Amino acid sequence: MSSKILILGACGQIGSELTQELRLIYGNENVIASDISYSNLEVVNSGIFEITDATDYASVKVCVEKHHIDTVYLMAAMLSAVGEKYPMKAWDLNMSSLFNILNLAKEKFIKRVFWPSSIAVFGPSTPKEHTPQFTTMEPTTVYGITKQVGERWCEYYYNKYNVDVRSLRYPGIISWKTLPGGGTTDYAVEIYHKAITDGHYECFLSEETKLPMMFMEDAIKATVDIMAVDTERIKIRSSYNLAAISFTPNEIANSIKEKLKEFTISYKPDFRQQIANSWPKSIDDSYARKDWNWSHSYSLSKITDKMLLELRKKYH
Ligand code: AKB
């Protein structure tokens, strides 16, 4: 499909790397990055960039019409930890941006939508290990509630209006280029930065808190792949479970110590511990693997090698 793409939230952790990958695949002239501010100069300066407020229907529609957009990746969102501090803001941002895009698709201004969901859709009553695709979902965070409700709306717009919306339940995403902002899984990125800059990390989760995680390259591949496959292969229109690896703070610390002997870690759990406790430890993503051939490449030790290599270059 030849396509004109808009990424909303292009300056964020996933949006920024997705933008660069889509520009490589589809050409700079076909990929329009946008955000509410110029907060990531690499994204702003490497192609077409528009200031767009994803919560403002008119602002998004102007951008879509100006650039003849047919595909939108909606990456703007307030994540779990910050969402607990600003519940109404999280609800407004996460829901109004989604409705704006779903309605633009319903009104045929755009043809295809990517909207990320999250493991945060699950809650304390969900089975913790190998969490199935279809299971009890009683999220306890505002972020998780917006993602679960969002999934219901995505499926509804597909069934009712034939909107081609595709979605993945991202685990925690580990990357070195852009810092994550306001999530519970952020520790798994911060730990590598602190390992390089301070040789020590004080972790806000306890040492045995196991969570599903993934390296950015794998997450981008999954996103690009699910958007490229033929419509018939997308059997799930709420959101696909997506998994790579699972580990605890203790395990990631040990994997860093293998490469950086002097690294130390201490634990001081805060309010994010309760959020992490409500989430799955591992995810069964067999539908994604079967329906559109998803597979991941990065193990924890491969992630640690890459993170330490890139962050050493960044800081030294
Ligand atoms: C968060 O921690 O809030 C996010 C997520 C798992 O969706 N990284």
pLDDT tens-digit series, residues 126-150: 999 999 999 999 999 999 999 999 9
pLDDT one-digit tens code per residue, 283-305: 999 999 999 999 999 999 999 99
CA of 80 to the centre of ligand 1 (A): 6
On average, the pLDDT of the chain sits at 97
- Ligand 1 atom nearest the C-alpha of 184 is 2
Which alpha helices (H) appear in 260-299, and where do they start and end? Answer: 272-278, 286-292
Question: What is the distance between the alpha carbons of residues 139 and 90, in angstroms, rounded to a whole number?
Answer: 15
CB 73 within 8 A of CB 16: no
Best residue among 84, 94, 126, 143 to mutate for probing ligand 1, ranked by most atoms within 8 Å of CB:
143
Q: What is the pLDDT of residue 58?
A: 97
Amino acid sitting at position 77: A
- Ligand 1 atom nearest the C-alpha of 81 is 3
* Mean pLDDT (whole number) for 74-84: 98
Q: What is the pLDDT of residue 193?
A: 98
N-to-C CA span, the chain? 43
Q: What is the pLDDT of residue 316?
A: 86
CB 109 within 8 A of CB 61: yes
Q: What is the pLDDT of residue 72?
A: 98
Best residue among 13, 79, 121 to mutate for probing ligand 1, ranked by most atoms within 8 Å of CB:
79
Of residues 221, 229, 249, 260, the one with CA closest to residue 24: 221
Percentage of the chain lying above the pLDDT 70 cut: 99
- Ligand 1 atom nearest the C-alpha of 171 is 6
Q: Using the Cα atoms of residue 92, residue 98, residue 101 and residue 105 in order, give the sign of their dihedral.
A: negative
Question: What is the distance between the alpha carbons of residues 217 and 50, in angstroms, rounded to a whole number?
Answer: 25
DSSP state of 203: E
Reported residue count of the chain is 316
pLDDT one-digit tens code per residue, 277-287: 999 999 999 99
Q: Residue 213 — φ and ψ, nearest 5°?
A: -140, 165
CA of 112 to the centre of ligand 1 (A): 24
Question: What is the distance between the alpha carbons of residues 209 and 251, in angstroms, rounded to a whole number?
Answer: 10
Question: What is the distance between the alpha carbons of residues 50 and 67, in angstroms, rounded to a whole number?
Answer: 10
Please, which residues bridge with residue 31 across strands?
5
- Ligand 1 atom nearest the C-alpha of 211 is 6
pLDDT at 2 over 90: no
Position 94 confidence tier, pLDDT thresholds 50, 70, 90:
very high
Question: What is the distance between the alpha carbons of residues 78 and 94, in angstroms, rounded to a whole number?
Answer: 7
CA of 22 to the centre of ligand 1 (A): 23
DSSP state of 198: T
156 noted as active-site residue: no
Position 176 confidence tier, pLDDT thresholds 50, 70, 90:
very high
CB 230 within 8 A of CB 241: no
CA of 206 to the centre of ligand 1 (A): 17
pLDDT one-digit tens code per residue, 230-268: 999 999 999 999 999 999 999 999 999 999 999 999 999
* Residue of minimum CA distance from atom 4 in ligand 1: 183
Best residue among 13, 121, 142, 170 to mutate for probing ligand 1, ranked by most atoms within 8 Å of CB:
170
Lining residues, ligand 1, CB within 6 Å: 79-80, 118-120, 143, 170, 172, 183-185
pLDDT one-digit tens code per residue, 113-130: 999 999 999 999 999 999
pLDDT one-digit tens code per residue, 32-44: 999 999 999 999 9
Q: What is the pLDDT of residue 3?
A: 87
Percentage of the chain lying above the pLDDT 90 cut: 98
DSSP state of 28: G
- Ligand 1 atom nearest the C-alpha of 185 is 2
Catalytic residue among 38, 73, 86, 143: 143
- Cα atoms in the Cβ-side hemisphere of radius 13 Å centred on 90: 20
Of residues 228, 131, 116, 106, the one with CA closest to residue 173: 116
CB 94 within 8 A of CB 77: yes
